[in-house]
Amino acid sequence: MAILRLDKFLSSQLNISRTDAKKLLRQKGVTVNGKSVVKGEFQLQTDNDVVSVNGKAVEYKEYIYIMLNKPKGVVSATEDSDDATVIDILPESLKRSGLFPAGRLDKNTTGFVLITDNGAFAHDILSPSHHVPKTYIVDVEREVSSDEFGLFEKGMLIGDELFKPAKLKFLGKNEVSNTFRYEIIIVEGRYHQIKRMFGSMGNPVVELERIAIGKLPLDRSLLPGEARELTESDIDLLKTR
Return the range that interacts with ligand URA (CB under 6 A); candidates 6-14, 16-24, 190-198, 219-227.
Answer: 190-198
Min separation Cβ 34 and ligand URA, Å: 50
Site for ligand URA contains 109 (CB under 6 A): yes
Interface with ligand URA includes 74 (CB under 6 A)?
Answer: no
The count of other CB atoms within 10 Å of the CB of residue 51 is: 22
Residue 193 found at the interface with ligand URA (CB under 6 A) = yes
Beta bridge partners of residue 217, listed in sequence order: 212
105 binds ligand URA, rule: CB under 6 A: yes
Among 195, 215, 228, 239, binds ligand URA (CB under 6 A): 195
SS3 82: coil
Residue selected from 44, 208, 213, 218 as contacting ligand URA according to rule CB under 6 A: 208
Cα(114)–Cα(97) distance, rounded to whole angstroms? 16
Quick one: 44 or 113, whose CB is closer to ligand URA?
113
Question: Judged by CB, which is closer to ligand URA: 109, or 116?
Answer: 109
The reply to whether 219 belongs to the active site is: no
Query: What is the C-alpha to C-alpha distance for residues 163 and 153, in angstroms, rounded to an integer?
Result: 10
- Tell me the β-bridge partners of 51: 32
- What CA–CA distances, in Å, run from 176 to 45, 179, 180, 182, 205? 60, 8, 11, 16, 16
Q: Which of 149, 135, 140, 136 is nearest to 199 (CA)?
A: 140
In this chain, which stretch among 14-22, 33-41, 103-111, 226-234 interacts with ligand URA, using CB under 6 A?
103-111
Catalytic residues: 106
